[in-house]
Amino acid sequence: MNIILLGPPGAGKGTQASRLVEERKMVQLSTGDMLRAAVAAGTEIGLQAKRVMEAGELVSDAIVDGILSERLDQEDIARGFILDGYPRTAVQAASLDRMLAEKGLHLDHVIELAVDEDALVDRISGRFSCAVCNTPYHDRYQLPKVEGVCDVCGSTEFKRRADDNEEAVRTRMAEYRAKTAPILPHYEAQGIVRRVDGMAPIGAVGQAIDDILG
Ligand code: ADP
Ligand code: ADP
Ligand code: ZN
Protein backbone atom coordinates (compact mmCIF):
# COMPACT_ATOMS: atom_id res chain seq x y z
CA MET A 1 0.00 0.00 0.00
CA ASN A 2 1.51 3.33 -1.12
CA ILE A 3 -0.16 6.62 -0.29
CA ILE A 4 0.20 10.39 -0.45
CA LEU A 5 -0.90 12.50 2.52
CA LEU A 6 -1.89 15.89 1.16
CA GLY A 7 -2.80 18.98 3.13
CA PRO A 8 -1.50 22.40 4.16
CA PRO A 9 1.21 22.90 6.80
CA GLY A 10 -0.15 21.81 10.17
CA ALA A 11 -2.89 19.62 8.66
CA GLY A 12 -1.55 16.57 10.50
CA LYS A 13 0.39 14.76 7.77
CA GLY A 14 3.45 14.07 9.91
CA THR A 15 1.34 13.04 12.90
CA GLN A 16 -0.66 10.51 10.90
CA ALA A 17 2.39 9.26 9.01
CA SER A 18 4.21 8.66 12.27
CA ARG A 19 1.31 6.55 13.56
CA LEU A 20 1.18 4.51 10.34
CA VAL A 21 4.90 3.85 10.70
CA GLU A 22 4.42 2.63 14.27
CA GLU A 23 1.31 0.57 13.68
CA ARG A 24 1.72 -0.71 10.13
CA LYS A 25 5.50 -0.54 9.73
CA MET A 26 5.06 1.58 6.63
CA VAL A 27 7.88 3.94 5.59
CA GLN A 28 7.42 7.71 5.93
CA LEU A 29 8.94 9.73 3.10
CA SER A 30 8.96 13.32 4.33
CA THR A 31 10.83 15.65 2.00
CA GLY A 32 10.76 18.25 4.80
CA ASP A 33 12.60 15.83 7.13
CA MET A 34 15.06 14.93 4.35
CA LEU A 35 15.76 18.61 3.67
CA ARG A 36 16.14 19.40 7.39
CA ALA A 37 18.64 16.52 7.66
CA ALA A 38 20.59 18.01 4.73
CA VAL A 39 20.58 21.44 6.41
CA ALA A 40 21.78 19.92 9.70
CA ALA A 41 24.52 17.98 7.92
CA GLY A 42 25.62 21.10 6.03
CA THR A 43 25.58 19.38 2.62
CA GLU A 44 25.51 21.34 -0.66
CA ILE A 45 21.74 20.79 -0.90
CA GLY A 46 21.30 21.83 2.73
CA LEU A 47 23.19 25.07 2.14
CA GLN A 48 20.95 25.87 -0.83
CA ALA A 49 17.72 24.96 0.97
CA LYS A 50 18.27 26.59 4.36
CA ARG A 51 17.22 30.17 3.67
CA VAL A 52 14.34 29.17 1.39
CA MET A 53 12.93 26.90 4.10
CA GLU A 54 13.31 29.49 6.85
CA ALA A 55 11.28 31.93 4.74
CA GLY A 56 8.56 29.32 4.19
CA GLU A 57 9.06 29.21 0.43
CA LEU A 58 9.36 26.06 -1.64
CA VAL A 59 12.73 24.50 -2.40
CA SER A 60 13.34 24.01 -6.14
CA ASP A 61 11.62 21.11 -7.86
CA ALA A 62 14.95 19.82 -9.19
CA ILE A 63 16.44 19.46 -5.69
CA VAL A 64 13.37 17.85 -4.15
CA ASP A 65 12.75 15.50 -7.08
CA GLY A 66 16.38 14.40 -6.83
CA ILE A 67 16.28 13.53 -3.14
CA LEU A 68 12.94 11.76 -3.43
CA SER A 69 14.04 9.71 -6.43
CA GLU A 70 17.12 8.51 -4.52
CA ARG A 71 15.01 7.65 -1.51
CA LEU A 72 12.63 5.57 -3.65
CA ASP A 73 15.59 3.39 -4.64
CA GLN A 74 16.02 2.10 -1.09
CA GLU A 75 14.63 -1.35 -0.43
CA ASP A 76 12.60 -0.56 2.68
CA ILE A 77 9.92 1.18 0.60
CA ALA A 78 8.63 -2.29 -0.31
CA ARG A 79 6.87 -2.20 3.10
CA GLY A 80 4.59 0.49 1.66
CA PHE A 81 5.35 4.20 1.72
CA ILE A 82 3.66 7.39 2.84
CA LEU A 83 4.56 10.51 0.91
CA ASP A 84 4.39 13.37 3.41
CA GLY A 85 4.98 16.80 1.91
CA TYR A 86 5.62 15.61 -1.64
CA PRO A 87 4.51 16.33 -4.35
CA ARG A 88 3.94 20.03 -3.74
CA THR A 89 3.84 21.42 -7.29
CA ALA A 90 2.52 20.32 -10.69
CA VAL A 91 6.11 19.74 -11.81
CA GLN A 92 6.71 17.41 -8.83
CA ALA A 93 3.47 15.52 -9.51
CA ALA A 94 4.61 14.90 -13.09
CA SER A 95 8.08 13.86 -11.86
CA LEU A 96 6.52 11.47 -9.38
CA ASP A 97 4.41 9.82 -12.11
CA ARG A 98 7.58 9.33 -14.13
CA MET A 99 9.60 7.99 -11.18
CA LEU A 100 6.89 5.53 -10.17
CA ALA A 101 6.55 4.25 -13.75
CA GLU A 102 10.34 3.83 -14.07
CA LYS A 103 10.65 2.03 -10.75
CA GLY A 104 7.56 -0.14 -11.27
CA LEU A 105 5.69 1.37 -8.29
CA HIS A 106 2.08 2.52 -7.97
CA LEU A 107 -0.06 4.76 -5.76
CA ASP A 108 -3.12 3.39 -3.97
CA HIS A 109 -4.62 6.51 -2.39
CA VAL A 110 -4.16 10.24 -2.12
CA ILE A 111 -5.57 11.16 1.29
CA GLU A 112 -6.52 14.81 1.50
CA LEU A 113 -6.55 16.18 5.06
CA ALA A 114 -9.15 18.94 4.86
CA VAL A 115 -8.60 21.62 7.50
CA ASP A 116 -9.76 25.07 8.42
CA GLU A 117 -6.91 27.51 7.81
CA ASP A 118 -7.62 29.43 11.00
CA ALA A 119 -6.60 26.39 13.06
CA LEU A 120 -3.24 26.02 11.40
CA VAL A 121 -1.28 28.83 13.02
CA ASP A 122 -2.46 27.58 16.43
CA ARG A 123 -1.41 24.04 15.60
CA ILE A 124 1.95 25.00 14.22
CA SER A 125 2.85 27.43 16.98
CA GLY A 126 2.33 24.60 19.52
CA ARG A 127 4.24 22.01 17.54
CA PHE A 128 7.43 20.37 18.83
CA SER A 129 9.07 17.02 18.20
CA CYS A 130 11.49 14.53 19.67
CA ALA A 131 15.08 15.57 18.96
CA VAL A 132 16.09 11.92 18.56
CA CYS A 133 13.30 10.14 16.65
CA ASN A 134 11.27 13.10 15.30
CA THR A 135 7.95 11.95 16.79
CA PRO A 136 5.63 14.98 16.60
CA TYR A 137 3.91 16.50 19.65
CA HIS A 138 1.79 19.53 20.51
CA ASP A 139 1.75 21.76 23.59
CA ARG A 140 -2.00 21.22 24.03
CA TYR A 141 -3.26 18.53 21.62
CA GLN A 142 -0.59 15.84 21.86
CA LEU A 143 1.69 15.85 24.89
CA PRO A 144 3.99 12.91 25.67
CA LYS A 145 2.28 10.43 28.05
CA VAL A 146 4.99 11.07 30.62
CA GLU A 147 5.90 14.73 30.78
CA GLY A 148 9.22 15.47 29.12
CA VAL A 149 9.80 11.89 27.88
CA CYS A 150 9.29 10.79 24.25
CA ASP A 151 6.61 8.06 24.03
CA VAL A 152 8.45 6.26 21.26
CA CYS A 153 12.15 6.34 22.15
CA GLY A 154 12.36 7.62 25.74
CA SER A 155 14.47 10.66 24.83
CA THR A 156 14.15 13.76 27.02
CA GLU A 157 15.35 16.16 24.30
CA PHE A 158 12.82 17.98 22.14
CA LYS A 159 13.08 20.63 19.42
CA ARG A 160 11.04 23.26 17.62
CA ARG A 161 11.39 24.20 13.97
CA ALA A 162 12.95 27.48 12.84
CA ASP A 163 10.15 27.97 10.29
CA ASP A 164 7.28 27.45 12.77
CA ASN A 165 6.79 31.17 13.32
CA GLU A 166 3.71 33.07 12.20
CA GLU A 167 5.31 34.88 9.25
CA ALA A 168 6.84 31.75 7.68
CA VAL A 169 3.60 29.84 8.34
CA ARG A 170 1.60 32.45 6.41
CA THR A 171 4.00 32.15 3.49
CA ARG A 172 3.79 28.35 3.58
CA MET A 173 -0.01 28.51 3.50
CA ALA A 174 0.11 30.88 0.53
CA GLU A 175 2.50 28.50 -1.23
CA TYR A 176 0.14 25.61 -0.52
CA ARG A 177 -2.85 27.46 -1.94
CA ALA A 178 -1.01 28.68 -5.02
CA LYS A 179 1.05 25.64 -5.93
CA THR A 180 0.00 22.50 -4.06
CA ALA A 181 -3.80 22.55 -3.88
CA PRO A 182 -3.93 22.82 -7.72
CA ILE A 183 -2.42 19.33 -8.08
CA LEU A 184 -5.48 17.64 -6.54
CA PRO A 185 -7.39 17.45 -9.87
CA HIS A 186 -4.47 15.47 -11.31
CA TYR A 187 -5.22 12.72 -8.78
CA GLU A 188 -8.98 13.20 -8.87
CA ALA A 189 -8.77 12.35 -12.57
CA GLN A 190 -7.19 9.02 -11.51
CA GLY A 191 -10.04 8.43 -9.04
CA ILE A 192 -7.71 7.92 -6.06
CA VAL A 193 -8.43 10.97 -3.87
CA ARG A 194 -10.03 10.31 -0.47
CA ARG A 195 -11.00 13.27 1.67
CA VAL A 196 -10.67 13.11 5.46
CA ASP A 197 -11.83 15.71 8.01
CA GLY A 198 -8.52 16.90 9.42
CA MET A 199 -10.25 19.08 12.03
CA ALA A 200 -11.34 16.01 14.01
CA PRO A 201 -9.21 14.93 17.00
CA ILE A 202 -5.99 13.09 16.13
CA GLY A 203 -7.42 9.65 16.97
CA ALA A 204 -10.53 10.18 14.85
CA VAL A 205 -8.46 11.29 11.87
CA GLY A 206 -6.38 8.14 12.33
CA GLN A 207 -9.53 6.01 12.38
CA ALA A 208 -10.78 7.61 9.16
CA ILE A 209 -7.45 6.84 7.51
CA ASP A 210 -7.54 3.25 8.80
CA ASP A 211 -11.01 2.87 7.28
CA ILE A 212 -9.58 3.87 3.90
CA LEU A 213 -6.50 1.66 4.13
CA GLY A 214 -8.52 -1.32 5.32
P1 ADP B 1 1.95 18.59 9.03
O2 ADP B 1 2.93 17.46 8.96
O3 ADP B 1 0.78 18.42 8.12
O4 ADP B 1 2.62 19.93 8.84
P5 ADP B 1 1.78 17.89 11.89
O6 ADP B 1 1.39 16.46 11.84
O7 ADP B 1 3.18 18.23 12.24
O8 ADP B 1 1.35 18.62 10.50
O9 ADP B 1 0.77 18.63 12.92
C10 ADP B 1 0.98 19.99 13.30
C11 ADP B 1 0.76 20.12 14.80
O12 ADP B 1 -0.65 19.93 15.10
C13 ADP B 1 1.51 19.08 15.63
O14 ADP B 1 1.96 19.71 16.82
C15 ADP B 1 0.46 17.99 15.94
O16 ADP B 1 0.68 17.40 17.22
C17 ADP B 1 -0.85 18.79 15.93
N18 ADP B 1 -1.98 18.03 15.34
C19 ADP B 1 -1.93 17.16 14.29
N20 ADP B 1 -3.16 16.67 14.00
C21 ADP B 1 -4.01 17.26 14.89
C22 ADP B 1 -5.45 17.17 15.13
N23 ADP B 1 -6.22 16.37 14.36
N24 ADP B 1 -5.95 17.90 16.12
C25 ADP B 1 -5.18 18.71 16.88
N26 ADP B 1 -3.83 18.84 16.72
C27 ADP B 1 -3.26 18.13 15.74
P1 ADP C 1 4.92 21.54 6.67
O2 ADP C 1 4.14 20.30 6.43
O3 ADP C 1 4.78 22.09 8.05
O4 ADP C 1 4.73 22.61 5.63
P5 ADP C 1 7.43 20.29 5.75
O6 ADP C 1 8.32 19.70 6.77
O7 ADP C 1 6.69 19.39 4.84
O8 ADP C 1 6.48 21.27 6.55
O9 ADP C 1 8.26 21.29 4.85
C10 ADP C 1 9.09 22.28 5.42
C11 ADP C 1 9.75 23.11 4.32
O12 ADP C 1 10.61 22.27 3.53
C13 ADP C 1 8.78 23.72 3.31
O14 ADP C 1 8.25 24.97 3.75
C15 ADP C 1 9.69 23.87 2.08
O16 ADP C 1 10.57 24.98 2.23
C17 ADP C 1 10.54 22.60 2.15
N18 ADP C 1 9.91 21.47 1.42
C19 ADP C 1 9.50 20.28 1.95
N20 ADP C 1 8.99 19.48 1.00
C21 ADP C 1 9.08 20.18 -0.17
C22 ADP C 1 8.69 19.92 -1.51
N23 ADP C 1 8.11 18.75 -1.85
N24 ADP C 1 8.93 20.88 -2.44
C25 ADP C 1 9.52 22.05 -2.12
N26 ADP C 1 9.89 22.38 -0.88
C27 ADP C 1 9.67 21.45 0.10
ZN1 ZN D 1 11.68 10.01 20.40
161, 170, 179, 194: the active-site residue:
161
Q: What is the per-residue burial (b if ≥16 Cβ within 10 Å, else e) of 82-106?
A: bbbbbbbbebbbebbeebeeeeeee
Q: For residue 59, give the nearest of 25, 86, 81 by alpha carbon.
A: 86
Cα–Cα distances (Å) from 176 to 32, 61, 73, 90, in that order, read: 14, 14, 27, 12
36 is catalytic: no
- 115 in Cβ contact with 8 (< 8 Å): yes
Question: Is 170 a catalytic site residue?
Answer: no
Those residues whose C-beta lies under 8 Å from the C-beta of residue 80, and which sit 6 or more positions away, are 1, 2, 3, 24, 26, 27
Please give the order of strands across the beta sheet that includes 3-6: 27-30, 81-84, 3-6, 109-114, 193-197
Q: Which of 123, 152, 172 to mutate to test the pocket of ligand 1 (most atoms within 8 A of CB)?
A: 123
How far CA 152 is from CA of 18, 77, 130, in Å, comes to: 10, 21, 9
Cα of first residue to Cα of last residue in the chain, in angstroms, is 10
Identity of the amino acid at 78: A
In the chain, alpha helices (H): 13-24, 31-41, 44-55, 61-71, 90-103, 117-125, 166-175, 184-188, 202-213
Q: Which pLDDT score, from 0 to 100, does residue 112 have?
A: 98
208-to-76, 114, 123, 195 alpha-carbon distances in Å: 26, 12, 20, 9
Catalytic (active site) residue 19 = no
CA-to-CA dists, residue 146 to 76, 152, 175, angstroms: 31, 11, 36
Q: Does position 84 have pLDDT exceeding 90, yes or no? A: yes
Task: Write out pLDDT tens, residues 26-64.
Answer: 999 999 999 999 999 999 999 999 999 999 999 999 999
The pLDDT assigned to 118 comes to 87
Question: What letter does residue 179 receive in the DSSP assignment?
Answer: I
184: pLDDT strictly greater than 90: yes
Per-residue model confidence as pLDDT tens digits over 110-144: 999 999 988 999 999 999 999 999 999 999 999 99
> Is 45's C-beta closer than 6 angstroms to any atom of ligand 2?
no
Do residues 17 and 207 lie in contact, with contact meaning Cβ atoms separated by under 8 Å? no
Q: Which residue's CA lies nearest to atom 19 of ligand 2? A: 32
Instruction: Choose the residue to mutate in 165, 172, 177 for probing ligand 2, maximizing ligand atoms within 8 Å of C-beta.
Output: 172
At 133, give phi and psi (nearest 5°).
-115, 0
Q: pLDDT by residue (tens digit) across 148-161?
A: 999 999 999 999 99
pTM of the model: 0.95
Tens of pLDDT, residues 54-75: 999 999 999 999 999 999 999 9
The CA distance from 30 to 13, in Å, is 9
